[in-house]
Amino acid sequence: MSRPAAEAAQTEESRASGYWEQISTLLIAVLIALGIRAFVIEPYRIPSGSMFPTLLVGDHLFVNKFVYGIKIPFTDLRLPGLREPERGDIAVFTVAQRGSQTFPADQRPDFPHEEFVKRVIGLPGDRISFHGGRVFVNGEAIEVKPLGTTFQDDAGNTLDVNQVTLGGKSFQILDDPNVTLPSPTETITVEPGRYFMLGDNRDHSKDSRFWGTVRLAEIKGPAFILYWSWDFNGEWVQLLNPLTLVDLLTQKTRWSRIGERVQ
C-alpha cells in the first residue's frame, strides 16, 4: 500500500474510532439516565387538584424510589429499603383505571395503569373510619385545626384551609363547605402489605375511600422535591408555540416553588 493510501486508511480508522467513542459515550449516558429513572428517582407531573393546597396543578416533582426499596423489574419483589411508608408521607403509586373506573392495580391487571399521588393515612393493620366528616385512625380522630383562611381552586371554589397533624407530620388540607363526599360507613381494616391513601383536597379527591387500598408493590416511593412548577396542564405540543412558551415562563411559572421540599 502506498504511503498516501496508508495515511488515508489511518485517517478513516481514526475518524471511525472517534465516532464510535462518541456513540458509546452517549449510549452509556442514556443507560445511566434510564438506570437512575428505574431505580433511584423518577419525575412526576401533578395533573389534578386532588392534593391542593400541598401540590398544585403543573407542579413537577421527583419521586425517591430508593426509600421504600427498589422494585425488581417485571416482578412484585422489592429490595430492602431505608424504611417502610409512614403516615403522612406523600407517595406516588400505580392504580388500574379504565374510563371513570379505578381499582387497585393488583385487582385489575387487565386494565391500563395510571399513576396517582396521595398521602399515606393508614398502615397495615390500621383501622380507618369516618364519622361527622372526620377521619379516625385506630379509634382516634386525626387532629384538625381550622386556620381561618381560604384557598380558591382552579374551578373557582372557595375552600377552607385546615391544619392537620398525623404521624409527627403537620400539613394542610382543604374542606369544601358546599360539598360532602360520601365516605365508607364501616370501619376499614388495612390488610397486611397494603396502605390507605387520601388526597389533601378531601372533598375533591377520589382515593382509597372509593377504590380501596394500595399494595406496597405498587408504591413507587415518596415525593421529595419540586423541580419545576407552572400554571400549565396542556399538551406539550403547545409549547412549540413561542408565544405560549414565553407567556408560561414570564407569567405562569411559579419560580418560588422550584426547589421546595414536598411534605
Active site residues: 50, 118
The sign one gets for the Cα dihedral 70, 72, 75, 78 is negative
Q: Which residue do the cell numbers 428505574 mark?
A: 38
3-state secondary structure (DSSP) of residue 108? coil
Burial of residue 207 (number of CB atoms within 10 Å: 0-12, 13-18, 19+): buried
User: Can you give the length of the chain in residues?
Assistant: 263
CB count, 10 Å around CB of 209?
21
For residue 96, CA distances in Å to 71, 120, 171 come to 18, 18, 28
Cell digits for 135? 377521619
Give the helix ranges, DSSP H, for 102-254: 208-211, 242-247
